[in-house]
Structure 1
């Protein structure tokens, strides 16, 4: 899946990062800032997305299904669009918002970010650095291979696992249920 995308791997030491997931802020599509502390005591599914990817239709449907069934039990689903994989995301937030409305996306979609390379968003640096399968001993972060790489976070804000784009969202339901 990632054969079209080559990004420089970056090295980040945990000491260079904020101590908690809840110490970060993210931007909504309208530009307002949201503190991640808003999601304390929630199970989070955080992923990079793209409106024009071949995986989008299936993933949106399954994320909506998960959201409808598990949001009331404490699941939050947070999508971060990226243009890093074949530029498969709209160039402006208005078009992203219109796509989300057309597809009836129920979960939160934030402003576009980069998830790999020198300009990796600080939140994604944190997620990778705190996921055992996404970094090596010297702090070199693995690249996310394609759209819809998924991080599962427990209620304490700890990264539990990373799931590749090939894993369907509904296949995560048992993992999520164990954390709720």
Structure 2
């Protein structure tokens, strides 16, 4: 169990605490998101389309707002929820977290340990992505500049 995401509890963007074992049997794409990044339009547009296309096949996208990169997610949870409406986002969003440093969310500490980065394990920018298999094990990590559509072949293999 300690090698899976299922051991973690997170707060949804609405403040409800959920255990990630609710995603058992699904492939998950975990992304640190932001509203004011140059990568925001392509990522939210593609993530929303992928969610619509693959949700019934067992894909779950988990978005974690983070304001650690140039202050590009300054809004409140309510403001973030309002912002993503323009991209027709229906995937799961969580409360704002830190992904690096001493206050990094335990889920992200785990993800970085399981799928280390190039040079440093730290998350380098908004829209870093972790692909998790149906057993809850992180199997791949993608940098911020990897567009969600470029991950589709890996997602399809796991589904």
Q: TM-score range by the shorter chain?
A: over 0.9
Q: Which of residues 66, 69, 73 in structure 2 aligns to 1:85?
A: 69
- Counterpart position of 1:160: 139
Structure index of larger Rg: 1
Partner of 1:52: 36
Alignment RMSD (CA, Å): 1.7
Please tell me whether residue 31 in structure 1 is matched to residue 20 in structure 2.
Answer: no
- In structure 1, stretches of 5+ residues that fail to align are 1-16
Structure 1 runs (4+) deviating above 4 angstroms are none
Equivalent residue, structure 2, for 1:148: 127
Alignment of 1:1-180 (within 5 A): 18-131=2-115, 133-134=116-117, 142-180=121-159
1:5-58 deviation line (CA, Å, top 9, x unaligned): xxxxxxxxxxxx944310101101121101100000100000101011110011
Indicate the SS of the match to 2:150: helix
TM-score, scaled relative to structure 2: 0.94
Paired residue total: 159
What SS does the aligned partner of 1:134 have? coil
Query: After superposition, what is the alpha-carbon deviation per residue over 1:94-142, rounded to whole angstroms, capped at 9, x for unaligned?
Result: 11111122332121111001001111100001111111x3399xxxx61
The alignment's TM-score, normalised by the length of structure 1, stands at 0.84
